[in-house]
Amino acid sequence: MGNSWFQFQQFRVNQDRCAMKISTDAVLLGGLAEVSNPRRILDIGTGTGVIALMLAQRFPQAKVTAIELDEDAAAQALENFEESQFSDRLILLQGRFQDFSVDEKFDLIVSNPPFFPDHLKSPDAKRNKALHTDELSFEELINNASAQLSEEGSFWVILPPRQMKILVDLAEKAGLNLNATTRVKDQETKPVHREICEFSFQSMGKKEVELVLKDADSQYSGSYMRLLTGFLLGF
């Protein structure tokens, strides 16, 4: 997924000016995040804009606001939005999420956040900004997301298991309940490498499922293909 562009069934994403290219993490979150009849959706750290575009496709009645810190990525995401058939329902804001505030709350908030607080940094400043929590800590993410979330809304995040444990603890302190966890494995015999969690102010139990991306023959699993039917070419 390192090309200068990536073609989906209903839209195209250019990514040559984005430090972080389209990833499996992004399309998983874009395919799984949900809430009943969302009217207002927020994508925190939109990057290429792919998650916002997927959500615009999935929820045709919703308006999607995407916020991005990096100027180049924000400009490219805006171009991707404008060239899509969902352009009238997509809004791009460039700036810090910590400074973002609106009067009307969001029904669905999603984030594929940076998660390397102590990782060895690269010489690429833009990539560091996308990968490391220096610009947006987990505490800032949780506190501002909870402030923007409607009473019956859902907040969805994808992270590695170790970082997700930290986020879950912070969410509980902010009054958010963990209602669902999808544990992602590359193959059945591999360890869990990502968790996708749904939080809300409502307590609805703790649903836990496992998603295996490839079968024993290294072909995409039926579950993964069903999730992305209508999005990726050939799915």
135-185 tens-digit pLDDT = 799 999 999 999 999 999 999 999 999 999 999 999 999 999 999 999 999
Predicted local confidence at residue 205, as pLDDT? 85
Q: Give the global pTM.
A: 0.90
Looking at residues 93-120, what average pLDDT do you find?
86
Query: Nearest-CA neighbor of 38 among 8, 67, 65, 68?
Result: 65
Could you give phi then psi for residue 213, rounded to 5 degrees? -80, -30
Task: Kindly list the domain boundaries of the chain, sorted by start residue.
Answer: 5-180
Query: Nearest-CA neighbor of 64 among 24, 95, 99, 33?
Result: 33
Q: CB of 26 within 8 A of CB of 50?
A: yes
Query: Nearest-CA neighbor of 105 among 64, 149, 70?
Result: 149
Share of the chain above pLDDT 70, in %: 91
Query: Which range among 74-78, 103-107, 110-114, 203-207 shows the weakest confidence by mean pLDDT?
Result: 203-207
Query: Nearest-CA neighbor of 141 among 70, 225, 43?
Result: 43
Longest dimension (CA), the chain: 51
How does residue 131 score in pLDDT terms, banded at 50, 70 and 90?
Answer: very low
How does residue 102 score in pLDDT terms, banded at 50, 70 and 90?
Answer: confident
Task: Identify the three-state secondary structure at position 43.
Answer: strand
Query: Nearest-CA neighbor of 14 among 67, 76, 81?
Result: 76
What is the C-alpha to C-alpha distance for residues 137 and 54, in angstroms, rounded to an integer?
Answer: 25
Give the homologous superfamily in CATH for domain 5-180: Vaccinia Virus protein VP39 (3.40.50.150)
What is the C-alpha to C-alpha distance for residues 17 and 120, in angstroms, rounded to an integer?
Answer: 23
Predicted local confidence at residue 134, as pLDDT? 60
Tokens of 7: 């073609």
What is the C-alpha to C-alpha distance for residues 25 and 124, in angstroms, rounded to an integer?
Answer: 21
Task: Identify the three-state secondary structure at position 160.
Answer: coil
